[in-house]
Amino acid sequence: MSIFWYIGAFVVAIGVLVTVHEFGHFIVARLCGVKVLRFSLGFGRVLLRHQKRPSDTEWVLCAVPLGGYVRMLDEREAPVPESELALAFNRKSVWRRLAIVAAGPFANLLLAVLIYWVGFMHGVSELRPIVAQPSIESVAARAGVRAGDEVLAVGDRLTRSWTDVRWALLRHLVDDHSVELKLRSAGGERIALLETTGLGEDLERADPLKDLGLLPFRPAVPPVIGSVADNGPAAKAGLRAGDRIENIDGRVLTSWEDLVREVSASPGRVLSVEVTRGEQRAQMRVVPEVHEEHGKSIGRIGVAVQSDGAWRERLLVELRYGPLEALGRAVRQTWEMAGFSLKMLGRMVTGHVSLKNISGPVTIADYAGQSARIGVDAYVRFLALISISIAVLNLLPIPLLDGGHIMYYLAEILMRRPVSQKVMEIGQQIGFTLLASLMAFAFFNDITRLLS
């Protein structure tokens, strides 16, 4: 996949999320009677500008699309005509100023709720939480988990899909040393206790489910092509739907997983493929396209597995809810993910979770490109996740961020007077140092991931 695809997906994501964040500040400022001078998407040189009248808000698009801002009328920044003093931000009550500042992060949380709400109502097909055979030395195997077990609950959280299982386990890994799984098999229901000590320290590097030995069950699907992508390597080589791939470079294939493994390991390399088509056999040559995934080059030929209604019905579940239940689930998921992010930050500060879990713009761009490649649904869910992260980051009580201003306003409410200018200046220096350190860690982790 071209690097421009990843850059484009990243820029669109940041553009949408920053616009939502700044629009939250803008709309509440207007409702509170504050005059907004400029609404800027991006920083640096102005590319596009729109202003209907000199007294209206100026809307601008700038060259660096990595943020934005809303500039309000404020006596602390420039002289204000006496006729407009009532419209100045600094002249508003502390409660109104607090509402304006908090509106940005709140808008990001509201966007996540909206995305999840629509997703829960629209419905999505997901894997049932049926377990494959754990490796002998894995935590799951030692706990007695067996192939074919269905995970009904993780702790007190009911699970209907692998997404539910993953999310529930992540929440336990951060705090707990063990977690109970409620399992169902042909012999009935039972409880398995998983020891999870140390598995939550580096969630960026490791896949916690894989480390536990919990992988989704996959039936032995024959290497028969169900569909061929137009103009893909397989189509150009002459492969058709219904072809059974017998071997690649002489290596016999017995399942679809064998096919995926051989193709993925051969990006850009000519492969000799023997197929059975009806009663005939044919030899073809195909060159897998090179795709970047998690920093590694893998091969793809543009084919999909042949659908089997029986195993699809067993392995897939359709999750769809009515409007009210979907809204409740959307609010709960947004709340839980925001809380999980805060908990992770807290454990990083105390040293219980590795700082390697901090991601920078390169990693975010990678995830943006990958989710966009999967499809619109995955990309929109990625936007919800990043929107929550932006809200949580901005609510931290760090000067220069929205949370820092909220902290000042809460102090003003308690002390019944504004925080002194000297305190605010010291706070700005501390805030700048903290943010610079955070960005340094993020870039360092990005570079480390690329090199490794």
pLDDT tens string 202-233: 555 456 777 788 888 877 778 888 888 888 88
| Residues whose CB is less than 8 angstroms from the CB of residue 117 and which lie 6 or more positions away in sequence, other chains included | 326, 327, 330
Summarize pLDDT for 353-370 with one digit per residue, the tens: 666 667 667 777 777 777
If you ran DSSP here, which 8-state letter would residue 270 be given?
-
Q: What are the pLDDT digits (tens) for 96-118? A: 999 999 999 999 999 999 999 99
Per-position DSSP letters for 172-237, written without gaps between them? HHHH-SEEEEEEEETTEEEEEEEE-TTTTS-TTTS-HHHHHT--B------SBEEEE-TTSHHHHH
Where does the pLDDT of residue 35 fall: very low under 50, low under 70, confident under 90, or very high at 90 and above? very high
- Calculate what percentage of the chain has a pLDDT beyond 90: 22
Domains and CATH numbers, the chain: 3-33+92-122+379-451 (no CATH), 124-217+308-319 (2.30.42.10), 225-306 (2.30.42.10)
Cβ–Cβ < 8 Å for 271, 287: yes
Q: Are strands 296-300 and 289-293 parallel, antiparallel or unpaired?
A: antiparallel
Q: What are phi and psi of 283, to 5 degrees?
A: -110, 130
CA distance 389 to 382: 11
Q: What is the pLDDT of residue 101?
A: 94
Query: DSSP per residue over 5-27, as a string?
Result: HHHHHHHHHHHHHHHHHHHHHHH
The pLDDT, as a whole number, for residue 163 is 85
Cβ distance 393 to 435 under 8 Å? Answer: no
228 vs 302: CA distance, rounded Å:
6
- Identity (one letter) of the amino acid at 86? A
Tell me what pLDDT residue 54 has. Answer: 84
What's the pLDDT score for residue 117? 94
Cα separation, 281 vs 80, whole angstroms = 83
Residue where the block lists tokens 């064998």: 258
Asked whether the whole model's pTM tops 0.85, one would answer no
Indicate the pLDDT class of residue 15, thresholds 50, 70 and 90. Answer: confident
Whole-number average pLDDT of the chain: 84
pLDDT band at 452 (very low <50, low <70, confident <90, very high): low
* Sequence letter at residue 11: V
| Rounded Cα–Cα distance for residues 124 and 320 (Å) | 7
Rg (CA), the chain: 27
Task: Report pLDDT for 93.
Answer: 92
Average pLDDT over residues 178-205: 76
Q: Which phi and psi angles does 61 have, rounded to 5°?
A: -120, 125
pLDDT of 118: 93
Residue 211: strand, helix, or coil? helix
Q: Which pLDDT does position 178 carry in this prediction?
A: 80
Mean pLDDT to the nearest integer, 264-274: 89
- Predicted local confidence at residue 33, as pLDDT: 93
Q: How far apart are CA 385 and CA 8, in angstroms?
A: 18
Catalytic positions are 22
State the maximum Cα–Cα separation within the chain, in Å, rounded to a whole number: 91
pLDDT of amino acid 22: 93
Q: How many residues does the chain have?
A: 452
Amino acid symbol at 120: F
Residue 352: is its pLDDT beyond 70?
no
* Spatial separation of the C-alpha atoms in residues 184 and 153, rounded to whole Å: 10
Distance CA 285, CA 273 (A): 6
Average pLDDT for 252-261 = 86
3-state secondary structure of 445: helix
Does 192 have pLDDT greater than 70?
yes
Using left for φ > 0, alpha for ψ between -120 and 50, and beta otherwise, residue 249 falls in left
pLDDT higher than 70, residue 254? yes
**294 falls in which pLDDT band (50, 70, 90)?**
low
SS3 at position 41: strand
Do the Cβ atoms of 113 and 132 come closer than 8 Å? no
**Highest mean pLDDT range out of 6-15, 97-106, 401-410, 434-443?**
97-106
The DSSP code sequence of 61-100 is EEEEEEEEEEEE--TTTS---GGGGGG-GGGS-HHHHHHH
Q: Which two tokens stand for residue 311?
A: 């195993």
Cα–Cα distance, 253 to 262 (Å, whole number):
9
Q: Give the amino acid at 315.
A: L
What pLDDT, on a 0 to 100 scale, did the predictor assign at position 278? 85
